[in-house]
Each structure stands twice: as C-alpha cells, then as structure tokens.
Amino acid sequence: MLDNNSYVYKKEVDWSVLQQGVSIPVTIQVVFQTTINKFLPRGQSKDIYLVLEGKTYKARLVNQKFDERKYPNRKDILQIRYHPQSEIAERLRSIFAVSYRYILEERNSLPENQRKFIKVPEEQKEYLAIYTTDYPDTYLLECITQEDTKIIREAMANEDEQEYEASINYNTVDYTATIATVNQMVKVRKLNRAIGETLKFLYNYRCQICGENISARYGVNIVESHHIDPFVESLNNNAENQVIICPNHHRIIHRARPVFNRRKLIFVYHNGVEERIILNQHL
Ligand SMILES: [Zn+2]
Ligand SMILES: [Zn+2]
C-alpha cells in the first residue's frame, strides 16, 4: 500500500511557483484524486497548510471551475495558491534563487506577451516535490535545487542502473552514500520511489507489458519501476520516464536492451521481437 507521504506532484520551478502557486493536473495522482474529490467539489476552495523545511505556511487549495459542457472529459485541475508577498513565496524565491534570478533577468529583457513562456535551461532546472501527509489539509513540500542535482549527478556517475532501481523498488539503503551526498540522495530517491509507487498503485500492481500480476496468487505484490532513459544518466524520475513491469520483463529488458519506441509504445528487441505496452494510463 501507499504510505502517508504519497506523491502528489513534481513541478518544474517557473515564475508561477515563485509568485502565486502550482496547478496540479489530476491525472495519475490516484490517491490524491480520490481523497480530494470527497471534500473539494469543482469551483470551491479551502485553507491548507504547506510544510517546508519543518515550518508550516498557510495557503489555499482551489478546485478550478471550468465549463463542463465545453470540456466534458477534462479532469479536475487543482491549484495550490499563495500571495506573491506571502512568507511561503518569499521562502521559495530564496531556496530557488538560481531559477528566480534566471527568470527575472529573462523577464526584464522580454516584452510582456512573451514572458509567460520563459523556461529555465535544462541544466539549471529546479523542482518542487509535493506530498500528502497524515493530515488531509497539510502537504509536504521538498525542494530539489540546482545544487542538489549537481551533487546527485556526481554521486550517480559510478552507480549501476539496476542497483539503483532495486534501491527504489525495494527501498534498500544506500550504504555507499557519503555524508555529503546523503541528504540529496534521500530526497531524490524518495521522490523517485513515491512516483513509482503511485504508478504501481495506478496499474493495480500489474505489468504494463504482459498485463499480469503473477505474484497476486501468492498474496503479495511484486512489480517494479523501470526507467526508460536510465536514471543514472538522465536523472529523470518523471512519471513519463517510468514504466511499471514484472520482475521477469525487467530482467529481460536489462539483459536484452531493447529500444523503446515512444510513439508506438513498443519495446523492439535486437532479434526482431516486439512487445507492446498493453496497459497505459500515463505514457
Ligand atoms: Zn511482464
Ligand atoms: Zn530497469
């Protein structure tokens, strides 16, 4: 089962995060979606608490109203909102100083109508991770800064992909981490694991390739998250880079190294065998 710190969203830091809040498209966040729908209908909002670095800040949670006749299949869009002068916004601007400085400079050099398309370059990107807590109105925020990413990149340079994935899937402790890297490793692995666990829950612990949960008849759930672009190289733990597969398929993929065709959602093996993703709600 999912634990209390369930994954809600991983947001790339942009102007909105630094000023007024985060929009959360409710797609793969199954747990969040079920709990939120119970007490926050469309068009309504409520007070929530955000915990960042052990400190609690007030904010609003809004379930955005939209024309349901115009967009009949649209999922809810939840927003966490705060004021640009609020303490939380100020704190985020100070933690994400790299993004803030970059976007501010870009904004000052661009006409107003182009400002909302400003993207921080790939190697400078920073992220805000949002989790649920034991309390339904309280969310935990964790910041992954450019400095954190730099440290993780150095630590990952000599890591083995399969060992790293095993540490995510089976929550094993990394004894090789040095004191200097341990905080970053814990933070990034927690996010990676939380996204993976949410996806496993979404697929009801079944393999996206064979559609089975062979372990279920033994009363357990054994399914694994595999990174399409190896994490040790890409550092990409986004849901779109994770596929949920059974241990057999996982071993085969690492040994046979098929090429993944993203458009067709097919693993193409070097002997010509093709295997399609048959369960898909997030790729
Ligand atoms: Zn399988
Ligand atoms: Zn893998």
How far away, in angstroms, is 180 Cα from ligand 2 center? Answer: 27
- Which-ligand-closest: CA of 276? 1
- Which-ligand-closest: CA of 246? 1
- Which-ligand-closest: CA of 226? 2
Rounded Cα distance between 54 and 41, Å, is: 30
Q: How confident is the model at residue 215 (pLDDT cuts 50, 70, 90)?
A: very high
Mean pLDDT lowest for which of 113-117, 187-191, 219-223?
Answer: 113-117
Classify the phi-psi angles of 73: left when phi > 0, otherwise alpha if psi is within -120 to 50, otherwise beta. alpha
Q: Report yes or no: 201 and 7 within 8 Å, Cβ to Cβ.
A: no
Global confidence as pTM? 0.85
How far away, in angstroms, is 147 Cα from ligand 2 center? Answer: 26
- Which-ligand-closest: CA of 230? 2
How far away, in angstroms, is 112 Cα from ligand 1 center? Answer: 50
Q: How confident is the model at residue 1 (pLDDT cuts 50, 70, 90)?
A: very low
Pick the CATH number of 7-144 from 2.60.40, 3.30.460, 3.40.50, 2.40.330: 2.40.330
- Which-ligand-closest: CA of 160? 2
- Domain map of the chain by residue range? 7-144, 154-276
How far away, in angstroms, is 115 Cα from ligand 2 center? Answer: 39
- Which-ligand-closest: CA of 229? 2
User: What is the total residue count of the chain?
Assistant: 283
> Is the confidence at residue 55, as pLDDT, over 80?
yes
How far away, in angstroms, is 207 Cα from ligand 1 center? Answer: 5
What does the buried/exposed string (b/e) look like for 93-104 if buried means 16 or more CB atoms within 10 Å of the residue's CB? bebbebbbebbe
Instruction: Answer with the residue of higher pLDDT: 29 or 248.
Output: 248
Q: What confidence tens digit (pLDDT) does each residue in 117-163 have?
A: 788 888 889 999 998 888 888 999 999 999 999 988 988 888 889 98
Per-residue HEC secondary structure of 61-107 comes to EEECCCCCCCCCCCCCEEEEECCCCCHHHHHHHHHCHHHHHHHHHHH
Q: What confidence tens digit (pLDDT) does each residue in 177-203 have?
A: 666 677 888 888 889 998 999 899 889
Give me the pLDDT at residue 91, please.
97
How far away, in angstroms, is 81 Cα from ligand 2 center? Answer: 37
How far away, in angstroms, is 142 Cα from ligand 1 center? Answer: 33
